[in-house]
Amino acid sequence: MIEKPVISAARAAKMVGEGAVVHVGGFLACGSPRGVLAALAELGTRNLTLVCNDTAVLDEKNGRVTGVAPLVKNRQFRKMIVSHIGTNPESQRQMNAGETEVVLVPQGTLAERVRAAGCGLGGILTATGLGTEVQEGKQVVEVQGRKFLVEEALPGDVALIKARKADKAGNLVYSKTARNFNPLMAMACKTVIAEVEEIVEIGEIDPDQIHTPSILVDYLVKA
């Protein structure tokens, strides 16, 4: 098996180019790659498009700033494609002020659009969002007597994901609810960088327990 380069968080951050579409794993920062995000915030790369479940927590009064929140605060995103911004008032402010484009996507639709991109599909058909603002500008088709919205695939340039454990080949195992969008994003982006808590020898992880196979992962970062 080919071993994957283990790189620093700073070097990982440099792989996110100006204007890139970045998929970031995590659900309210549970399962987000903290080290790589901190490095990207420090680097300050701008005009990024974020694809993530949410804009995490920005609550400076109580000392809670998590996940992508510092990057939102730095105005590093030109556009944010997310399902929830309610725990980060700054993302709501930027949206209302027209400073950042925010596309709110139902969470299940977001997951399936990412999954579709990673599976070579053009998109998915879903009843979620029919008759709501989500339907605006989208095609409605009838299949097997039911109406569906056509939701397009959502591919990315770089996936910044988090796993509990990797082997040196890049096989990944996630932990509990920190799994969420991470395995989907690992399939949907050209470059995949996985921040992991532990790196073990090839062969140490039972192949039946691997969540993301090594061929999908390009670089490892030790958390």
Partner 1 sequence: MIEYVESKENIARRIARIFKTGDVVNLGIGLPTLVANYVPAEVTVILQSENGLIGLGPAPEKGREDKDLTNAGGMPVTLLAGGAYFDSATSFGIIRGGHVDCTVLGVLEVDQEGNLANYKIPGKMVPGMGGAMDLVAGSRVVVAATTHLEKTGGSKLKRRCTLPLTAEHGVDIVVTDVGYFEVKGSHFVLKEYFEPYTPDWIVEHTDADVQVPPDCKSWRA
Q: Which is nearer to partner 1, 5 or 108 (CB)?
A: 108
CA distances from 20 to 9, 28, 80, 117 (A): 17, 22, 12, 16
For the beta carbon of residue 24, count every other beta carbon within 10 angstroms: 31
For residues 170 and 183, which CB has a smaller minimum distance to partner 1 in the complex?
Answer: 183
- Please identify, using beta-carbon distances, which residue of 84 and 168 lies nearer to partner 1: 84
CB of 1 to partner 1, least distance (A): 24
Question: How many Cβ atoms sit within 10 Å of the Cβ of residue 134?
Answer: 18
CB nearer to partner 1: pick between 11 and 106: 106
Q: How far is the CB of 15 from partner 1 (least distance, A)?
A: 24
Name which of 22 and 111 has its Cβ closer to partner 1: 111
- One-letter amino acid of 34: R
Q: Around Cβ 201, how many Cβ atoms within 10 Å?
A: 10
The length of the chain, given as a count of residues? 223
SS3 10: helix
Report the nearest approach of partner 1 to the CB of residue 50 (Å).
Answer: 13
- The least distance separating partner 1 from the CB of residue 18, rounded to whole angstroms, comes to 27
**Shortest distance, CB of residue 167 to partner 1, whole angstroms?**
19
Could you tell me which of 6, 117, 96 has the C-alpha nearest to residue 51? Answer: 117
172 DSSP assignment: E
Q: Which residues contact partner 1 (rule: CB under 8 A)?
A: 27-31, 53-54, 57, 82-87, 92, 95-96, 104, 106-112, 114-115, 126-134, 164, 174-184, 211
What is each CA distance from 27 to 8, 57, 151, 164, 206, in whole angstroms?
A: 24, 10, 22, 15, 27
In whole angstroms, the minimum distance from the beta carbon of 33 to partner 1 comes to: 13
- For residue 223, CA distances in Å to 36, 144, 164, 196 come to 8, 48, 9, 5
Nearest residue (CB) to partner 1, 14 versus 138: 138
